Amino acid sequence: MIFRHLVLLSLAATMGCEIGACYKEAKDKHLEKRYGSRPASKDQLADWEKEITGYEKIINEKIDAGIKTGKVYRKIGESYALMESYELCIKNLEKAVEYGEAVADVFYWQGLCYANLARVHNWPPEYARKSEQSFLKALALDKTMNKVKYELAVMYYAGFARNNQYRVLNDVLTVSQQQFQEKSIELMKEFKSVEPDQAKAYFFLSGLHKERGEMADAKRELQELMAVIQRNNKTGYRRNPDFLRAEEYLKSYEGQAKP
């Protein structure tokens, strides 16, 4: 029995040495095959540089083709958005991003399409969240894109503050809904500060303040809009449809209960 063990140990040691030698030989052959056994000559270097130049040309052509493909997908996606084919818009804009056209405008249009899908399907959280994410990506890429702030403000109000799936009673707001309302107001004020002639911002803020029972703020927004219109058109401001609309709303607010 002892002799048998000694034989096995001897064989194992022998095999171990053979395995080690085989491994080294295989490794050396692999390295030689991959890199060669001798230093590269000047002629070889010249050939390699020529070969690399050819590969670079192919790579650059593919990159250029990818860039052009991304731009085409973007144009198709935006066209579908204008046609109100929102799902096809999103599909093509996702392709545009895959091909490197990951720019602020692409995410802006993507956000619009998700927002419209949310509206059409009665504001399911999934679409609303995707719309929010797309708008935030657009702002992260271009903080000066003011139109994103407007659309995101509307999204926060319509998609989260008014249509929250956890809302129990119409006159009860959850903490999260109040936060979305406040964020919506903040974004719309930022939009208005950059584009003070945009009547839609004043009407939006006035309506939101009215819904919150903040009648003084609701009236102030309308009065500010009327003052802007009058300043911009001193002689014909009374014929301006936004001025007349603000005046009508302001009259309807009179006599309503103050907060």
Report the C-alpha gap between 50 and 201 in whole angstroms. Answer: 61
3-state secondary structure 61-129: HHHHHHHHHHHHHHHHHHHHHHCCCHHHHHHHHHHHHHCCCCCHHHHHHHHHHHHHHHHHCCCCHHHHH
Q: Both tokens of residue 7?
A: 């034989």
Tell me what pLDDT residue 60 has: 75
pTM over 0.75: no
Q: Spell out the per-residue pLDDT of the chain, length 259, in tens.
A: 544 444 444 444 444 456 666 667 776 666 666 555 556 566 666 776 777 677 677 777 777 777 899 999 999 999 999 999 999 999 999 999 999 999 999 999 999 999 999 999 988 889 999 999 999 999 999 999 999 999 999 999 988 876 554 444 445 556 688 889 999 999 999 999 999 999 999 999 999 999 889 999 999 999 999 999 999 998 999 999 999 999 999 999 986 654 4
Q: Are 113 and 128 in contact (CB under 8 A)?
A: no
Give CA 200 to chain center in angstroms.
Answer: 24
Residue with tokens 């949310």: 118
Q: Are 162 and 155 in contact (CB under 8 A)?
A: no
Give CA 182 to chain center in angstroms.
Answer: 22
Neighbours of 89 (CB within 10 A): 25
Tell me what pLDDT residue 200 has: 97
Q: What is the DSSP letter of 36?
A: -
Q: Both tokens of residue 19?
A: 């395995």
Q: Are 154 and 161 in contact (CB under 8 A)?
A: no
Alpha-carbon distances, residue 149 vs 75, 111, 136, 196, 217 (angstroms): 23, 11, 9, 14, 21
Alpha-carbon distances, residue 75 vs 92, 134, 178, 201, 245 (angstroms): 9, 17, 38, 29, 37
